[in-house]
Structure 1
Amino acid sequence: MANSPTIATSSEDVGSVPFTPHMHISTTSSPPRDMFATPSSTTQPPTILSSSMHQMPPLPPVPGFRDSSYGKIWVSPGAKHDFLPPKGPSRVISNIIKAKYDSPWPNWTKVPQDYKNMWFDEFKKKYKWFPRYEKFVRATFNHKGSVIVKNTMSKLQAGKDKGEWIIPEVRQQLDAYWSGDDFKKKSDTSKQNRAIDNGASLYTGESISITVHRKRMVHELNRDSTIFDLMARTKKNKDGQWVNDKAKDIVDEFIRHRENIHPVDDTQDVFGE
């Protein structure tokens, strides 16, 4: 009896079995399909994907890039009171304000709301943003506008800005306002307040840091130094006087606050009074 051909039982066996002309290996249990047969009515046609299904979703706009549809530049929230990009919008706001400064408004508060709205509308012609940023953009616009008006008026008054952009009649009225008694009184009061604030923040601890002062006082007092100890060391002159009345008022307020929470008996010793 002739030897029958060996049938491979695995994919590994197929490579090791010699091929014979009469050998038939079935790879599927279904009957062979006629490749020339006409598809029946129950055959599902192949799914054709539309070109839109292959399109990638649009990328989010990059701040500072110009929109191809409207020619506007995209902006988004940046740091506090600022945009992304930070530089361009400030210049645009300054140019918008200077182009339509029709009355002698000495500061942002005096500018009528309809003018502020008009300036913002001009800003919207050059920039665009997502609707969810609307409140942020308007608040940032107002802040920048306030700073720009303040700085511009200061430069005009000091002669650093020649004011060629402003209407001559408006400039004359501004000059009259700045030379008036009311403005001078307000200006003098502001200067005094700034001097007081600077005095209250004056540091008399020389070039020694607070940390070093605190470590030294631990050894001097033989106890942990308190905030009051440090203030007495760094807010008094060499003659033992507070740098000014406002500094003393701040310390007195601290003392009252601490006594209301936890009464202490060593206040006189702490401040040497």
Structure 2
Amino acid sequence: MGQQHTPSPQSHVGEEGSSSNTPIWGTTDPETGLLWICPDNEYFVPRDPVMDFISDQLFRNYNEAWTSWTAIPTENRNAWFDEFMRKHMSLPEHRAALRKAYNARAARWLSQKLYNLRHGGRGRRDWLPQDTANQLFDNWATNEKFQEKSVKNKQNRAKMEGPSYVGGSIPMTEWKRKLAETGVPPESVGWAAFERTHSRQSEGSDEREWINSRAHTVAENYTKLSQERDSQRETDPSSSVCDNDSLFIQAAGGFDKKGRVFGYGAAASRLKPTKRSSSGIEDVSADEMKKMKALTAQMTQEQERMLEEQEKMRQMMIQEREMMEERMAKEREMMEERMRRMQEEMMRQMQIQLKSLMNKGSGSALGDDDHAGDDDDDHNAPV
């Protein structure tokens, strides 16, 4: 599992102007030097530095002919996400949403790179080795399911009457922020972002035209629903009426199976009624922050205690090993001394025995000479 960073005791004013105790997203934590991030549906806040990190991470680790993000082994993807979490600061409750956004962005990045590789030819291999690129081309050429899907996608693109989005690589959430910074009222920023990303300047005119018939239909529905709401407000000011986002969801046909709304994309998931805050980022109260800090301090103390115990055990093992080595050295010296003494004693005994044998041999020789003299006397005696 990746390291779970705890929030620094900073606070900021939320996007809607309300004060909160959440960290300041996009700032560097003074204690760790890491960037504070939070999920934003299938993106992140801040967007660019996090996307740069993911791109660099995949550039470094894509070393086999994987044809999609899900084709990469689970242990590889888990290890990359753990590294991602270690290199950034986040709130514990955001981990699941960060994983979802991480998977979505990594899958999109790889899909785009492989698409560019297929349409750029075998020579386009500036981000992976040539042998890996060749293996990918071989897989695509022999995979029947991939060929069928490719043909179907080409047919679908041919049926499209025009582009479906002209906002570039910037997601809807980022467009809403940019437009809000220009002074667009919060209640109108969603519709303004849709206009910016689904219409374009007409040639020879200052007016904008919708990029396709679906965008045009949504715009007509939204205008009609807005007029009906305004008329209801005039008739009965106390009545409960829908806000602009709710009207747009109705105009676009509601949520699809993936929780998206045409024109809002994944950003619409935060508009679904849930028990949590609709901002998508839960506020952390001062008490919760204190509890988290206390828990972190307790865990840190426990970890330090365990490290101290480990160090004590290590020192005890070192001392025991040194004592054992010293004891063994002494026993070895004593054994060598005993062996030396035994050898000396053996040599001494051997010398004594040898000397004794030599003395016995010398005495026997002298006795024989005496007997020989007696014989001579017998021969010389008178008859």
More helix by share: 2
Larger RCO (CA under 8 A, 6+ residues apart): 2
TM-score, length of structure 2 as denominator length: 0.35
Q: Give the TM-score of the pair, scaled to structure 1.
A: 0.48
